[in-house]
Chains A and B, each alone.
Chain A
Amino acid sequence: MSAIIFEVKDVQYSYPGKFPALCGVDMTIRSGEKIAVIGANGTGKSTLLHLLDGLIFPHQGQVTAFGERLLENSLFDEKAAHHFRRRVGLVFQNADIQLFCPSVREDIAFGPLQFGVEEEEVNRRIMDVAQVLDIHHLLDRVPHQLSIGEKKRVAIASVLAIDPDVYLFDEPTAGLDPLTVRHIIDFMVNANRRGKTIITATHDLHIIGEIADTVYVFGRNKRIVRGGSSESVLNDRALLESNNLIHIHQHHHDGKEHVHQHLPLEQHD
Chain B
Amino acid sequence: MSNALHKKRDFIERSMLSALAFLKDATLSEECANRKGFLQSLDPRFKTISFLAFLVTAVSLKSAVLIGSLYGLCLLLVFFSRIPLNYFLTRTLLFIPLFSLCIVLPTLFSMVTPGEPVWSFHVLGINAIITRPGVDGALLFVVRIATSVSLVVLLSLTTRHSELLKVLRLFGVPQLFVLTVSMCYRYLYLFATMVENIFTALKSRVGMVSRHQHGQNIVAWNIANTWNRTTQMSEEVYMAMLSRGYTGEPQLLSEFHATLKDWFWLLCALIICAGLFYRGHTL
**Which A residues lie at the B interface, using CB under 8 A?**
50, 53, 55, 78, 81-82, 85-86, 89-90, 92, 94, 96-98, 100-103, 105-106, 109-111, 113-116, 119, 122, 142-144, 158-159, 162
Contact = CB atoms under 8 A, between A and B. Distances in A.
Given A82-B245, A114-B245, A158-B244, A100 B237 contact: yes
Q: Secondary structure at chain B's binding surface: helix, strand, loop or mixed?
A: helix
Contacts of B237: 97, 100
B38 interface: no
A144 B253 contact: no
Contact of B189 (A78, A113, A122, A144): A144
Contact of A109 (B161, B193, B236, B253): B253
Contacts of A55: 239, 242-243
Interface stretch (B42-50, B90-98, B141-149, B179-187): B179-187
Nearest to B162: A102
13 contacts: A81-B242, A81-B245, A82-B245, A89-B244, A92-B236, A92-B240, A97-B236, A100-B187, A102-B162, A106-B162, A110-B244, A114-B247, A143-B186
B240 A100 contact: yes
A102 B182 contact: yes
Contacts of A116: 251
Nearest to B255: A105
Interface in B179-206: 182-183, 185-187, 189-190, 193
Interface string B242-266: 1111110011111100000000000
Contacts of B189: 144
A100 B247 contact: no
Contacts of B162: 101-103, 106, 142
B236 A113 contact: no
B155 to A, nearest CB: 17
Give the interface centre of B165, B239, B245, B252 by most chain A CB atoms within 10 Å. B245
A90 B243 contact: yes
Contact of A162 (B190, B244, B247): B244
Interface of B: 28, 30, 160-162, 165, 182-183, 185-187, 189-190, 193, 233, 236-237, 239-247, 250-255
Q: Secondary structure at chain A's binding surface: helix, strand, loop or mixed?
A: helix
Nearest to A98: B240
The 9 closest A-B pairs by CB, nearest first: A102-B162, A114-B245, A111-B244, A113-B251, A144-B189, A109-B253, A97-B236, A102-B182, A55-B239
Contacts of A92: 236, 240, 243
B186 A94 contact: no
A178 B193 CA distance: 26
B244 A85 contact: yes
B243 A85 contact: yes
Contacts, number: 92
Contacts of A53: 243
B186 A113 contact: no
A100 B236 CA distance: 11
B186 A101 contact: yes
Given A102-B185, A106-B253, A143-B186, A111 B233 contact: no
Nearest to A108: B253
Contacts of B244: 85, 89, 110-111, 114, 158-159, 162
B201 to A, nearest CB: 18
A159 B255 CA distance: 21
Contacts of B246: 110, 114
Contact of A114 (B160, B161, B250, B254): B250
Nearest to B161: A102
B182 A162 contact: no
B247 A78 contact: yes
A115 B186 contact: no
B88 to A, nearest CB: 22
Contacts of A119: 253-254
Contacts of A122: 253
B239 A50 contact: yes
B90 to A, nearest CB: 24
A115 B245 contact: yes
A142 B185 CA distance: 11
B182 A101 contact: yes
Contacts of A113: 251-253
Contacts of B186: 100-102, 142-144
A109 B212 CA distance: 49
A144 B243 contact: no
B253 to A, nearest CB: 4
B44 to A, nearest CB: 13
Given A105-B253, A106-B253, A144 B247 contact: no
B236 A94 contact: yes
Nearest to A86: B245
Contacts of A96: 190, 233
Give the interface centre of A81, A94, A96, A158 by most chain B CB atoms within 10 Å. A96
B251 A114 contact: yes
